Chain A
């Protein structure tokens, strides 16, 4: 197992287009998290799954954002009608009932032009 995998690593899109990111967590981890990080800032929490259930969503997650984790394995984060303010690094993390195993992926860098 090579850790948390995120694809694509980079995405450039035009304003108004939809984008989808994928996260493959560490296989035995039942918890999966999405964060967003802008330049010079710390990551900000977006949403959290335990297995396939989405248990918490931040108010940062507007109606244009949707996340899924079918079958409790990989997760996708979709942004509809992208705006320039959506440009950021989108980080995925996973854990197994313990903060000590809270492992982040390398992120997907989104640029909206």
Chain B
């Protein structure tokens, strides 16, 4: 079983819809939680970073962490075709390495 599970998708939504993404994890040592966006043939781009349970908002993006359930989510409001990409959750325990989920491919249709 992988340490971080993420539905690969693809997740197809109409423009303007809310995109809901999530990851589950098994290692309670994970303390820091990140979401990255990756366009085709590009490196991952950091979207959100949080270390506590609860919600964090940044523009159209909301990250949610539930440490008791080992569940993290990312919501994208008012989705745009330019949001079409692969979204990766990344978790960190002690040390510096990140443990990534497999990524969810999102398609936002005009």
Pair A99/B92 contact, Cβ less than 8 Å: yes
Residue among B34, B42, B90, B96 having the largest count of chain A Cβ atoms under 10 Å:
B96
In the bound complex, CA of A35 to CA of B98 (Å):
9
Residue among B97, B99, B102 having the largest count of chain A Cβ atoms under 10 Å:
B97
Pair A106/B103 contact, Cβ less than 8 Å: no
In chain A, what residue has the closest Cβ to B42? A106
Task: List B residues 1-59 near A (Cβ within 8 Å).
Answer: 4, 6, 8, 32, 34, 36, 41-46, 49
Interface residues on A, range: 20 to 34
Residues in chain B near residue A99, CB distance under 8 A: 32, 34, 49, 92
Task: List A residues 11-52 near B (Cβ within 8 Å).
Answer: 31, 33, 35, 40-45, 48
Residues in chain A near residue B97, CB distance under 8 A: 33, 45, 48, 56, 58
Residues in chain A near residue B49, CB distance under 8 A: 99-100
Pair B96/A42 contact, Cβ less than 8 Å: no
> Is A103 part of the binding interface, using a Cβ–Cβ cutoff of 8 Å?
yes
With contacts A48-B97, A56-B96, A99-B34 known, is A42 near B102, CB below 8 A? yes
Pair B98/A102 contact, Cβ less than 8 Å: yes
Pair A109/B41 contact, Cβ less than 8 Å: yes
Pair B96/A31 contact, Cβ less than 8 Å: yes
Picked from B32, B44, B92, the residue with its CB within 8 Å of the CB of A91 is B44
In chain A, what residue has the closest Cβ to B103? A42
In the bound complex, CA of A40 to CA of B97 (Å):
20
Apart from A45-B97, A105-B43, what 18 extra A-B contacts exist at CB < 8 Å?
A33-B96, A35-B98, A42-B102, A42-B103, A43-B100, A45-B98, A48-B96, A55-B96, A58-B97, A93-B43, A99-B34, A99-B49, A100-B49, A103-B46, A104-B36, A104-B43, A106-B42, A107-B42
Please give the residue numbers on chain B whose beta carbons come within 8 Å of chain A beta carbons, in ascending order. 4, 6, 8, 32, 34, 36, 41-46, 49, 88, 90, 92, 95-103
Closest 7 A-B residue pairs measured CB to CB? A42-B100, A104-B43, A45-B97, A106-B43, A104-B44, A42-B102, A105-B43
